[in-house]
């Protein structure tokens, strides 16, 4: 086994070349929709979301927007308010897509069209002000493109999009400093199109420019006068009912302005919209999503710096592994005799040292013959420095570890996660999984996870058989139910908190039943099939040495090899490889949800280097442990491989306090719970990689050593 090929410069160069192209390649969709003049274009409404909270809400669940009328538009068989069928990923990410009452016809500009006039009570006004204060934005969809707010770079050289538009704005009064909230009730919709070579028109851009216009500026047809001129905003404010408040607080010198009690008073909010179609031949249909990613171009050098940082760390560790393999391990195998002879020499050296202590007071003349023997023995000291280490463990190194019935299922689940993650990264680099495939990342990931139950069962059962286990069906049930069961229970408990908030982030009960059926009716049988093949049809992994009946005593260990300190310290190297790329992932997941993370080429490169680094760290830690005559490397290698998850979770805590502005108990609970779950999954995956690397390393070095 040659480890040096893992760091071959030619292979790294080819891999990075592939990454540089995969970063910018994606498949924008699977079908091109061509529109003819005056053809109806459906506008779908989805949800509202915020960077300051993890709770999302369906757009039509908001009491202060125009409710769906139920009328059909443009020959559609469905009326407004009809729910569009969603895939599993869309449901899990909180999408609630519905048809709307907006009427769009290709090429037909509309200066102003009244939508409705909503009457809102005090409680609903208060909630609208709260949502605006928390920075919520709404997401609409046209031709599978999310409605975007348009921005330009500081030097005005490039334009880019941010998904969604703000519900309203918040201003502070220059007189008393109190906040005033204004709701956006007029929407200027801009559809950018270009001609298709085969005929028809293609939509290449969907922009929304909202503004707030007070109700007094609207005329009889429902539209404001001079809609595109400056108007005062419509403030979300209902004067307090002072007479009722005095009745509620009799004799009180302080009367609150608003106690949230709904007394029947309403605020009228007229909603209108404008539509403009603009021809734009500078955007190809195949690259229409690029504007949603263009703000990531400025960070490309940082991604390359992250890869360079990762390669530097991996190279340093690679040199250490090369020294261990090329000089120490191969030197032990080639230059030394069998373990029994080395152990005899070690005993002779110990006896000689004892005699030396007994002769401590004798003269030099009396020590002549003994000095010659001491010189012969000391000449072998340099060659026997490591004899007291890993070679003396040939009879114990493959001793079955404690709790082997738990280690095998964990390794099986880790292989399941490794297959799923590798498949997702590969499909993302190839462009099959992209933002236009809404919810595709989660849906395909769930499918890969279920299918990978075959690999989970196989590796778990074969390792269980290697450990000498007899009840393989019990091991199968633990593998199929333990990790997925804990995950399902945690998500169900968190879902109860989200249900209480009436948020669309909550997973519907029917979807939970579907996930449960997917787990118990499909994944569990696949795990059983894999376990049957791995245990019944496949031989266990063979070990090059036999295990002695009496366990060897383990000498005192140095502090850095302790079960707690060792894995925590070794986890710093993989975390150093990953943390720069984690910054971009966290930014799109938690801090800037209106953008898209689509640099999976860089992420794949960093992930590959991460797996190599985890393997290197585990080899170094395992070899150090064996040289200290400690044969409990099974669990230690698993913990060493997954130890960087501790630092990733610590990084999540730091990011929460110093970068995020999350408000509310439920949102904070969701952040820490899902962060812990993600770190546990990551630790299980990297722990499995570390364990299998250490297992292969130990089998290889002991297969070359001659022992009795």
Nearest by Cα to 350 from 393, 303, 392: 392
Mean pLDDT of 174-181: 86
Residue 396 near residue 552, CB atoms below 8 Å: yes
pLDDT at 332: 57
The answer to whether residue 400 scores a pLDDT higher than 50 is yes
The answer to whether residue 377 scores a pLDDT higher than 50 is no
pLDDT at 268: 93
The answer to whether residue 336 scores a pLDDT higher than 80 is no
DSSP state of 167: S
pLDDT digits 0-9 by tens, 602-643: 899 999 999 999 999 999 999 988 888 888 999 999 999 999
Among 160-174, 364-378, 453-467, 594-608, the minimum mean pLDDT is found in: 364-378
Whole-number mean pLDDT of the chain? 84
114 CB-side CA count, 13 A? 14
The residue with greater pLDDT, 199 or 250, is: 199
Taking every pair of C-alpha atoms in the chain, what is the biggest distance, in angstroms?
A: 125
pLDDT digits 0-9 by tens, 286-325: 889 888 886 566 677 888 888 998 999 999 999 989 888 8
> What DSSP string runs through 551-611?
PPPPPPPPGGGSTTHHHHHHTHHHHHHHHHHHHHHHIIIII-TTS----HHHHHHHHHHHH
Give the burial string for 105-144 (b: 16+ CB within 10 Å, else e). bbeeeeebebbbebebbbebbbbbbebbebbbbbbbbbbb
pLDDT digits 0-9 by tens, 6-53: 445 455 445 444 444 444 344 544 578 999 999 999 999 999 999 999
Mean pLDDT of 149-159: 81
DSSP state of 31: -
Residue 68 near residue 99, CB atoms below 8 Å: yes
Among 221-230, 241-250, 260-269, the minimum mean pLDDT is found in: 241-250
Nearest-angstrom CA–CA distance, 442 and 437: 10
**If pLDDT is split at 50, 70 and 90, which confidence band does 359 have?**
very low
pLDDT digits 0-9 by tens, 51-100: 999 999 999 999 999 999 998 887 677 889 999 999 999 999 999 999 99
Nearest-angstrom CA–CA distance, 143 and 35: 10
Nearest-angstrom CA–CA distance, 708 and 344: 12
**If pLDDT is split at 50, 70 and 90, which confidence band does 524 have?**
very high
Number of helices (H), then strands (E), belonging to the chain: the values are 21, 16
pLDDT digits 0-9 by tens, 432-443: 888 889 899 999
The answer to whether residue 601 scores a pLDDT higher than 60 is yes
Mean pLDDT of 120-126: 91
**If pLDDT is split at 50, 70 and 90, which confidence band does 706 have?**
low
pLDDT at 145: 94
Nearest-angstrom CA–CA distance, 161 and 184: 19
Nearest by Cα to 671 from 87, 178, 51: 51
The secondary structure element, H or E, covering residue 405 is helix 404-429
Q: Strand runs (DSSP E) across 27-130, as ranges? A: 40-41, 43-49, 57-58, 98-99, 104-105, 110-120
Residue 140 near residue 45, CB atoms below 8 Å: yes
Nearest-angstrom CA–CA distance, 590 and 657: 12
pLDDT at 597: 79
Mean pLDDT of 417-430: 94
pLDDT at 351: 53
- The domain ranges of the chain are 39-240+262-294, 297-330+390-398+543-551+558-707
The residue with greater pLDDT, 456 or 4, is: 456
**Cβ neighbours of 26 (radius 10 Å):** 24
């Amino acid at each position: 086994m040659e480890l040096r090929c893992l760091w071959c410069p030619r292979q790294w160069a080819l891999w990075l070349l592939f990454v540089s192209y995969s970063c910018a390649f994606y498949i924008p969709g699977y079908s091109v929709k061509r529109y003819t003049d005056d053809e109806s274009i459906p506008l779908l409404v989805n949800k509202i979301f915020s960077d300051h909270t993890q709770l999302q809400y369906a757009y039509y669940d908001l009491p202060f927007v125009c409710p769906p009328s139920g009328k059909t538009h443009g020959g559609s068989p469905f009326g407004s308010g009809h729910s569009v069928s969603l895939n599993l990923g869309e449901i899990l990410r909180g999408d609630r897509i519905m048809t709307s009452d907006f009427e769009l016809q290709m090429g037909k500009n509309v200066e102003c069209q009244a939508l409705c006039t909503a009457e809102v009570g005090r409680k609903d006004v208060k909630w609208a002000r709260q949502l605006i204060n928390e920075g919520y934005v709404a997401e609409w969809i046209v031709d599978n493109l999310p409605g975007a707010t348009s921005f330009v770079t500081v030097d005005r050289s490039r334009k880019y999009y941010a998904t969604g538009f703000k519900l309203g704005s918040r201003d502070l009064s220059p007189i008393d400093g109190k906040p005033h909230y204004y709701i956006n009730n007029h929407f200027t919709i801009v559809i950018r199109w270009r001609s298709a070579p085969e005929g028809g028109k293609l939509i290449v851009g969907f922009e929304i420019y909202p503004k707030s216009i007070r109700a007094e500026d609207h005329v009889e047809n429902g539209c404001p006068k001079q809609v595109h001129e400056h108007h005062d905003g419509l403030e979300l404010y209902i004067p307090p009912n002072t007479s009722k408040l005095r009745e509620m607080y009799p004799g009180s010198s302080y009367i609150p302005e608003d106690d949230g009690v709904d007394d029947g008073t309403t605020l009228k909010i007229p909603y209108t919209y404008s539509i403009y179609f603009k021809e734009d031949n500078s955007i190809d249909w195949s690259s229409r999503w690029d504007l949603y990613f263009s703000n990531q171009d400025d960070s490309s050098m940082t991604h390359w710096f992250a890869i360079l940082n990762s390669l530097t760390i991996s190279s340093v560790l690679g040199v250490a592994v090369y020294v261990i393999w090329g000089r120490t391990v191969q030197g032990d195998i080639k230059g030394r005799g069998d373990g029994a002879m080395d152990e005899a020499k070690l005993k002779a050296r110990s006896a000689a040292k004892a005699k030396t202590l007994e002769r401590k007071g004798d003269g030099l003349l009396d020590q002549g013959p003994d000095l010659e023997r001491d010189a012969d023995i000391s000449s072998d000291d340099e060659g026997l420095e490591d004899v007291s280490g890993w070679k003396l463990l040939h009879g114990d190194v493959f001793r079955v570890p404690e709790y082997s019935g738990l280690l095998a299922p964990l390794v099986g689940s880790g292989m399941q996660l490794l297959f799923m993650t590798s498949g997702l990264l590969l499909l993302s680099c190839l462009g099959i999984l992209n933002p236009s495939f809404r919810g595709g990342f989660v849906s395909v990931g769930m499918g890969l996870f279920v299918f990978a139950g075959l690999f989970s069962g196989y590796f778990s059962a074969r390792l269980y058989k290697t450990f000498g286990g007899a009840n393989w069906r019990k091991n199968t049930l633990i593998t199929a139910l333990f990790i997925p069961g804990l995950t399902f229970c945690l998500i169900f408990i968190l879902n109860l908190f989200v249900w209480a908030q009436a948020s669309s982030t909550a997973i519907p009960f029917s979807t939970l039943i579907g996930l449960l059926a997917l787990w118990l009716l499909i994944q569990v049988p696949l795990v059983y099939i894999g376990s049957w093949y791995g245990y019944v049809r496949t031989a266990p992994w063979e070990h090059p040495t036999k295990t002695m009946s009496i366990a060897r005593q383990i000498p005192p260990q140095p502090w850095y090899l302790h079960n707690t300190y060792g894995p925590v310290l070794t986890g710093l190297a993989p975390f150093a490889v990953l943390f720069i790329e984690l910054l971009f992932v966290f930014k799109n997941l938690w801090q800037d949800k209106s953008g898209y993370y689509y640099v999976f080429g860089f992420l794949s490169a960093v992930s590959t280097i991460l797996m190599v680094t985890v393997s290197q760290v585990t080899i170094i830690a395992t070899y150090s442990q064996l040289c200290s005559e400690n044969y409990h490397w099974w669990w230690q290698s698993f913990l060493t491989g997954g130890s960087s998850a501790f630092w990733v979770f610590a990084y999540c805590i730091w990011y929460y306090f110093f970068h995020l502005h999350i408000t509310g108990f439920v949102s904070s609970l969701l952040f820490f719970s899902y962060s812990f779950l993600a770190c546990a999954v990551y630790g299980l995956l990297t722990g499995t990689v570390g364990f299998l690397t250490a297992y292969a390393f130990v089998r290889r070095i002991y297969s070359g050593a001659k022992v009795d």
